[in-house]
Amino acid sequence: MGFFDFFKSIDINSGLEQYRNTDGAVLVDVRTEEEYAEGHIPSSINIPLSNLNSISYKIEDKDTPLFVHCLSGGRSAQAVSILKRNGYSDVTDIGGINGYHGKIER
């Protein structure tokens, strides 16, 4: 990884394409319940960052591919660290929904 790699932003749209092409993958939105209700990506599940330690109640298999996003990318980066510490082995940060170009559900 080079110096300028730190300045590259994550493209949620590319991450979603990868999610759609991954068998058994789960799209996890770690924004608050209120933010999620205002609009979310279809097929995503909402597990707020503050409740992330309880994810095993929804996703028991720790080898399940997880694609995590939030509003701008800050919370999703934190979520990836938490999930990996909790034993989830296949976790990808796809950034923030504020860069998303697609359908939104309410």
- Whether residue 85 is contained in a domain is answered as yes
- Whether residue 7 is contained in a domain is answered as no
- Whether residue 16 is contained in a domain is answered as no
Percent of the chain whose predicted confidence (pLDDT) is above 90: 91
- On whether the CB atoms of residues 65 and 22 are closer than 8 A, the answer is yes
**Number of domains forming the structure of the chain:** 1
Answer yes or no: is pLDDT of 26 > 70: yes
Which neighbouring-strand residues pair with 27? 67
Answer yes or no: is pLDDT of 3 > 50: no
Answer yes or no: is pLDDT of 105 > 50: yes
- Whether residue 17 is contained in a domain is answered as no
Helix (H) or strand (E) holding 19: helix 12-20
Joined tokens for residue 87: 């034993």
- Whether residue 24 is contained in a domain is answered as no
Joined tokens for residue 46: 């909402």
Q: Which residue has the higher pLDDT, 8 or 67?
A: 67
Given the residues 16, 70, 79, 91, select the one marked as catalytic: 70
87 in active site = no
- Whether residue 6 is contained in a domain is answered as no
pLDDT digits (tens, 9 = 90+) for 7-21: 456 899 999 999 999
- Whether residue 5 is contained in a domain is answered as no
Range of the structural domain that residue 95 is part of: 29-106
- CATH number, position 65: 3.40.250.10
Give the span between the Cα atoms of 100 and 63, in whole angstroms: 26
- pLDDT for 34: 98
Supply the pTM of this predicted model: 0.92
